Amino acid sequence: MTFAEEIKRIRQRSFLSQEAFAKEVNVSFSTVNRWETGKTRPNLMAMKSIKGYCEKNNVGFEQLEELWLSAEREAKE
């Protein structure tokens, strides 16, 4: 599964629109859209917000975190 697919899975599992999810994690709708289409990835602050959201709502975050960390490692190589 890709990062974009995983972030979309988390949002859909919570039965939220992109706009509602964006409000939950304090970003714009267009930011969530870019994440889900694979154009960008969240920065560290956004990842912390997503993690907080997932913990508060009992949604698995581990897979998303691993995909994000892998992409960060690849970007540095």
CA distance 14 to 75: 30
pLDDT in tens, 26-45: 999 999 999 999 999 999 99
For the beta carbon of residue 7, count every other beta carbon within 10 angstroms: 22
pLDDT value, residue 52: 96
Q: CB–CB of 60/1 below 8 Å?
A: no
pLDDT in tens, 55-68: 999 999 999 999 99
**pTM of the predicted structure, to 2 decimals:** 0.89
pLDDT value, residue 76: 75
Quick one: angle between helices 3-13 and 62-76, nearest 10?
Answer: 160
pLDDT value, residue 72: 79
Query: Hey, CA dihedral for 43, 29, 10, 25, is it positive or negative?
Result: positive
